[in-house]
Structure 1
Amino acid sequence: MKKVNIFVDCHVFDKGFQGTRTYIQGLYLELIKEKDKNFYFAAVNVENLKSIFGNHDNVFYLKYSSDSAIFRLLLEIPYLIKKHNIEYAHFQYRVPPIKLCKYIVTTHDVLFEDYPEFFPKLNRIQSYYTYKFSAKISEIVFTVSEYSKRQIQKHLKIKDVIITPNGIESVFFEDYNKDETQRKIQDEYGISNYLIFISRWEPRKNHHLVLDAFNKLELYKSHFLVFVGDDTFKNNQYETIYQSLNYEVKQKIVILKRLSFEKMITLLRGSSVSIYPSIAEGFGIPPIESIAARIPTISSNTTAMSDFDFMNQYFFNPSDEKEFANTLQMVINQKDSNIDNKIEIIKQRYNWKLSAAIFNKTLNKQKLTDSLP
């Protein structure tokens, strides 16, 4: 049987940790187990890709010569698609305008349409037209949640959108020694008994809500506050609050950027409480990752996070400072005695085998359509 050649744009692996990277990694670690397909992974840092996906007879690594998005989309990817006889190419959000094979695009969200106040105007305009164009010319359009599917259909006018839900990597469920992990964190970072928030820096992520509560509740007297994530858009509210803080509070705030996956998960495991106050998400994977790692977790209940109905009293309205403060104090004082049940629900709902099965079913249906006269 002739193998199908699938190209995967992995340029996000050349950047910091983010949701699209998690999606590609989890999905394709499952898909590459199938030997009826060849996979061509492309990025600038090919060695990094090899360390993640490994060496397999059906996996090939292609090196981008530039990290320029324009050069990549206009010239380099079309060249690689033609050179390697690619039949299907999978992209996140944006596809090359020169189309030399069938396209698969995953549009994770269109939050800039529902929450324009959180995105620069030029970014909104550019995103709208490129996302819509990409979805229109693609044979297959995936997204990651019911919320995102509804909003893509509404704003981009794309009728056929398939959900491939994010999964939780098995490493998050692994057993670990909490005391040993915390000693390691203490030795490397000089912190203990800390609250953690893992997310990119954008106004919609609500870092300022966490910072303000950390100060007003005087949690700095007993805890550190750790932010893990890279910059996307500047959060002026956070900066204003931070500059008003006294030295004692600032000394208990730690910001870590461009961390490896291994360091990130170690920091997560060593934390006392995980916080996810984002106002708007296309999926919102960090809170369920932290629950999988057995960390007491509180989360915003808006947009796609509302699907996490097992969160119950650990939900809060991210626009309500008092409700957030009460929920934060509750989880600090009571932890989470029901975390085992939550972990079982997450294992059933959010796993990459399920998403890979949906991907294959959709691809097979498309291949059947392509073969018709």
Structure 2
Amino acid sequence: MNNNKKQIKRIGIDARFYGPGKGLGRYTKEVVDRILDMDTKNEYVIFLGLDSFDIFNTKNPKVKKVLVRARWYSVLEQIMMPYLILREKLDFMHFLHFNVPLICPTKYIVTIHDLILTKFPTPRASTLSPIFYKIKHLGYKMIIKSGIKNAQKVIAVSCFTKQEIINQFSISNDKIVVTYEGVSNDLMKLKAGDKSMSLGYNIRVPFLLYVGNAYPHKNLGGLVNIFSKIRKKYPDLSLVLVGKEDYFYKRLKTYVKDRDFTNIIFTGYVSDQDLAKIYSKALAYIFSSFCEGFGLPPLEAMNHGVPVLSSNKTCMPEILEDAALYFNPDKESDAIQKIIEIMENKDLREKLKIKGFAQVKKYSWDKCARQTFEIYVRE
């Protein structure tokens, strides 16, 4: 009886990002929900924020929810998280992002999605003044380094990210495990009759599509510059940028307006139903990012049957393999040539659609969660 009790672990998960959205929220929700569904033996303490506490629910009877009244990346979390971890008497923690307390009173695993913060140390990636940004950036670098160095295991979301960690922090290869993210099966698909419906948002076909945020490493400034040149050859072509309006999108809109660029449409936030409709009419999805840790947006486009034009930087060739047409985002001439190629070649677009559907099947959240849980078992 006592031996069985010892085998039961008390596992903490920092799930403050938990939510239905994109990025970290999606990763946290998909992984945590599945682990709690598959494991009814161990005990779990799920740390949640004010935004996520009420929306998190599970049928697993061995789960305790703990409210953390501290925002991620805050000084307060550096004090509060160690206290709560100690109070809950955990065997180990899983931090699903790099923001591990500098003093963590138990063993832990950390997931590193990318090292963009260390590669793009620029105030352009923040709304803070340059001085405050520099202080904040130094703090981030210290936390990332400490979180990786002191972890029992590091989960990387791609082989590219794993190699970046090894190169920057001189970490042993054996300490890092690659678990690819997944693509959701519940992405809204349109019924046949819905495809004839109006798109709205002043969108007219044909158009190239981008869905995601406007952070500097996404290189949307470069994308709109490229598009302004390609429009000379295709005056009816539009570029549709889908993403919730924030500081970075507002800055991009000002950039476009100041240069009198036309046929560039900013939709702001759109519902899943509207997004599915937009995907169904897109000529191609274009992803001009300089740096990614995994690169989920192009896979989601593939899942909707949209041919993908992608940057050839960082992890993208690893994740998309031969299911995308690649260009060098540092070379406008290359990007323009590839856009012309996909515009003119219908057979190529159909080939990329077929390859895209096959590529997406390689990435599942079930597999990601199962591989993550296997790390828990070994700790």
TM-score range, shorter chain: 0.7 to 0.9
Unpaired segments of 5 or more residues in structure 2? 126-132
Which of 332, 337, 356 is the matching residue for 1:342?
356
Q: Does 1:152 align with 2:156?
A: no
| Mapping of residues 57-136 of structure 1, within 5 Å | 57-67=61-71, 69-70=73-74, 72-91=76-95, 92-116=97-121, 121-122=134-135, 124-136=137-149
> 1:244 — aligned with what?
259
Cα RMSD (Å): 3.2
Equivalent residues, number: 355
8 Å contact kept, 2:156–2:162? yes
Higher relative contact order (Cα pairs below 8 Å, separated by 6+ residues): 1
| Mapping of residues 192-271 of structure 1, within 5 Å | 192-193=204-205, 194-218=207-231, 221-229=236-244, 231=246, 239-245=254-260, 249=262, 252-257=264-269, 267-269=278-280, 271=282
Q: Does 1:42 align with 2:48?
A: yes
8 Å contact kept, 2:17–2:24? yes
| Aligned mates of 1:215, 1:232 — CA distance in 2 | 23
| Aligned mates of 1:331, 1:11 — CA distance in 2 | 41
| Aligned mates of 1:363, 1:311 — CA distance in 2 | 33
Greater helix share, structure number: 1
Measured after TM superposition, the shift of residue 32 of structure 1 is 1.6
Q: 1:156 to 1:260 in 2, by over 3 A?
A: farther
- Given residue 161 of structure 1, which amino acid in structure 2 is its aligned partner? I
Unpaired segments of 5 or more residues in structure 1? 367-373
| Aligned mates of 2:54, 2:235 — CA distance in 1 | 37
| Aligned mates of 1:274, 1:48 — CA distance in 2 | 35
| Aligned mates of 2:306, 2:73 — CA distance in 1 | 37
Measured after TM superposition, the shift of residue 229 of structure 1 is 4.6
Measured after TM superposition, the shift of residue 357 of structure 1 is 3.0
> 2:128 — aligned with what?
none
| Aligned mates of 1:280, 1:103 — CA distance in 2 | 27
| Aligned mates of 1:231, 1:73 — CA distance in 2 | 25
| Aligned mates of 2:196, 2:268 — CA distance in 1 | 17
Which of 195, 203, 228 is the matching residue for 1:191?
203
Q: Output the TM-score relative to the length of structure 1.
A: 0.81
Measured after TM superposition, the shift of residue 239 of structure 1 is 4.3
Q: Deviations over 1:84-113 (max 9, x none)?
A: 333322221121233232211112222344
Q: 1:264 to 1:69 in 2, by over 3 A?
A: farther
Measured after TM superposition, the shift of residue 199 of structure 1 is 2.4
Q: 1:338 to 1:270 in 2, by over 3 A?
A: closer
Q: Does 1:139 align with 2:152?
A: yes
- Given residue 256 of structure 1, which amino acid in structure 2 is its aligned partner? G
Q: Percent identity?
A: 20
Q: 1:181 to 1:229 in 2, by over 3 A?
A: farther
Q: 1:156 to 1:230 in 2, by over 3 A?
A: farther
Q: Give the 3-state SS of the residue equivalent to 2:24 in structure 1.
A: helix
